[in-house]
Amino acid sequence: MTVAYDVASGAARRRRVAGIVRRDVYALHRNGGRLLDIFFWPVLELVIWGFVTAFLRANNVPIAVSMLLGAVLLWHAVARAQAELAMVFMQDVWSRNLLNVFAGPISLGEFLAGHVIFVAGLVTASTAVLSTLALLLYGIGVTTIGPAAVPFLVVLTGMGWGLGIIAIGIVIRFGEGTQSVAWVLAAAFQPFAAVFYPVAVLPPVAQAIAWAVPASHVFEGLRGLLAGHGIDWAGLATAAALDVALLAGAVAFLAHALRHARRTGRLSKFGE
């Protein structure tokens, strides 16, 4: 029996969001290359950094080992969340399906919600795989961090989503020629995220930028936690507030880019 929904009702909105999630799952299932990107390259990076940490451990610097490998595992959440969110959008561009998506009743919020839910699943799965391997191979994993790992990962994933939404907005606003930003945006922020070193080692101007990046507060908190100073809840709260500001700004920028693309007819030209 066919059930009719008011397009503005909550049930209709949930069905559209679920439809985006199902579509992303089907696309991933048929794309072995995506699975390679999601798991192989992060595992390779983990193995390489694992050798570095093994060297440090042999030279009696155990805290540096934990900090380094823990940073690799946590930064993965930012990089994967950003890249995968941009990737699911670019698939619509490459398949010439973007106009079809926005020609229907789906709203920008529903479009983003579906993709974010899907990407959250990918980040959770890949982080679990990496953490398990790190624990088996090197005795260090996300669980080594303790309960703080959950808020750390949530904040970092939120930053990745914000950067991914900005990347999508840039491509919509300026065209397919800017799609390379989808793969490099998170890396551009890494020098200011204090992933492998404290903010204090940066020049003063770079420090000011770093403190505006949510990830820097997380990684400073990670180093303090592993050094035995406990969880820096104030730093986490600051990082969460910066996340909210980043996500709000990213969504506003994407909405502006989408309005501009519709007004100028650019939306119909994607994939030509």
Residue boundaries of the structural domains of the chain: 10-269
Whether the CB-CB separation of 225 and 231 falls below 8 Å is answered with yes
Residue 236 has what pLDDT? 94
202 CB-near residues (< 8 Å, 6+ apart): 192, 194, 210
User: What does the block give as tokens for 176?
Assistant: 């397919």
Residue 45 has what pLDDT? 63
Residue type, 150: V
CA 264 to chain CA centroid, Å, is 30
181 burial via Cβ count (<10 Å: 0-12, 13-18, 19+): middle
Rounded to whole angstroms, the Cα distance separating 123 from 224 reads 25
Query: What's the per-residue H, E or C state across 163-182?
Result: HHHHHHHHHHHHCHHHCCHH
Q: Is the pTM of this model over 0.85?
A: no
Residue 71 has what pLDDT? 83
Residue 179 has what pLDDT? 84
From first to last of its 272 residues, the chain has per-residue pLDDT tens of: 455 556 667 777 888 888 888 877 777 766 655 555 666 666 666 665 555 565 556 555 555 566 777 788 889 899 999 998 998 888 888 878 887 887 777 888 899 999 999 999 989 988 888 888 888 877 777 777 888 889 999 999 999 999 999 999 999 988 887 888 888 888 889 888 988 888 988 889 999 999 999 999 999 998 888 888 888 999 999 999 999 999 999 999 999 999 988 888 877 776 55
Give the Cβ contact number of residue 116 at 10 Å: 22
